[in-house]
Structure 1
Amino acid sequence: MERYLLHFKNEKYLPQNCRELAHRARDLASDMNVSVRLARVASKFIEFDVASEKVDLDPLVERLSPIGELDNVRHVVEEHIDKDKGIQDGIFYFNNERFWECHEAFEGVWNQCYGREKELVQGIILVAVAFAHEQENEESIGIGMLKRALEKLGSSPSMYYSIDVDRIRKKAIEMQQANKLTRFEI
């Protein structure tokens, strides 16, 4: 089976509904040879992490249509991507609340980095993963990850490509103090 991220438009669900949505998706697809691993809830979409054969993907999407209108499907494969493209993709995914995909894009960048740059990129990844946990209604885990993210970001330069690292540090500190994850763009 292959791994896919299915994004359905979200008009009413909150991260607190992620388990209910995962159970509902599993029920809707119960007689299919697929696995609905989990659901993440963002403000504009619901993301289902699924395992499916390619031939079963369209029927699965049809089965899940009562949950919402399909926005996009992404086949998750390990990609070897140009560093600049990985950064561009990571920024896009972060700013569109597709935090798991952001993590994946920056991991591809991280694999091409060395030394201090590698730690800086890992800090950005940890912030994205914190938000992915929040989308799974695990905000406390996400808040806990901010400490590690700040350690990795350290005193790195204030800009990394077009990313304002100082702003990320400031936001991470504010979120720790408030004990609340608040989405922002990078």
Structure 2
Amino acid sequence: MVDPRFGEAVRLFNAGEWYACHDGFEELWHETQGPCRKVLQGILQIAVAHLHLERGNRRGATVLLGEGLGRLHSAGPAQLGLNLDQLRQQARARLQALQQEQDPTGLPLPRLHADCADA
């Protein structure tokens, strides 16, 4: 995806600016069709889950992390030029902590990393 809004949304996601990155990804999501739309929605849900977590809504965070991972489940290891396997692994670890009523803040935040192997 070459759209500069995508790069900015990724930057905001990686900076933990969950609300701002949500706005950027949501705009792109509304304009996207096909399998990339589902990937964008999964990333959006992971971002909003972390916004919920920051605001103390552990239940909302748990639900949205699960939904986001579900949307990303059928995507390959890389899509949109991003390493989705790494994103899924980080989000899954935080989801498991929440499901086990543990504090996920000691775990790495999910990050979006470029994957040069993505065609």
TM-score range, shorter chain: 0.7 to 0.9
How high is the sequence identity, in percent, across the aligned residues?
24
Hey, what's the Cα distance between the residues in 1 that align with 2:16 and 2:92? 20
Q: Deviations over 1:35-86 (max 9, x none)?
A: xxxxxxxxxxxxxxxxxxxxxxxxxxxxxxxxxxxxxxxxxxxxxxx96212
Q: Deviations over 1:92-131 (max 9, x none)?
A: 1111111011111001111221121111100000000001
Post-superposition offset of 1:163: 2.0
152-161 or 84-93, larger mean C-alpha shift: 152-161
Tell me the equivalent position of 2:117: none
Aligned residues: 105
Hey, what's the Cα distance between the residues in 2 that align with 1:160 and 1:144? 23
Amino acid at match of 2:110: F
Kindly indicate which of the two structures has a greater share of residues assigned to strand.
Answer: 1
Tell me the equivalent position of 1:173: 92
Kindly indicate which of the two structures has a greater share of residues assigned to helix.
Answer: 2
Post-superposition offset of 1:171: 1.5
Specify the structure having the higher radius of gyration (Cα): 1
Unaligned stretches of 5+ residues in structure 2: 99-103, 113-119
1:137 aligns with 2:56: yes
Given the two structures, how large is their TM-score scaled by the length of structure 2? 0.78
Hey, what's the Cα distance between the residues in 2 that align with 1:101 and 1:83? 19
1:110/1:122 contact within 8 Å kept: yes
Unaligned stretches of 5+ residues in structure 1: 1-81
Tell me the equivalent position of 1:84: 3
Higher RCO structure (Cα 8 Å, ≥6 apart): 2
Given the two structures, how large is their TM-score scaled by the length of structure 1? 0.52
Give the 5 Å matches for 1:15-94. Answer: 84-94=3-13
Q: CA RMSD in A?
A: 1.9
1:98 aligns with 2:17: yes
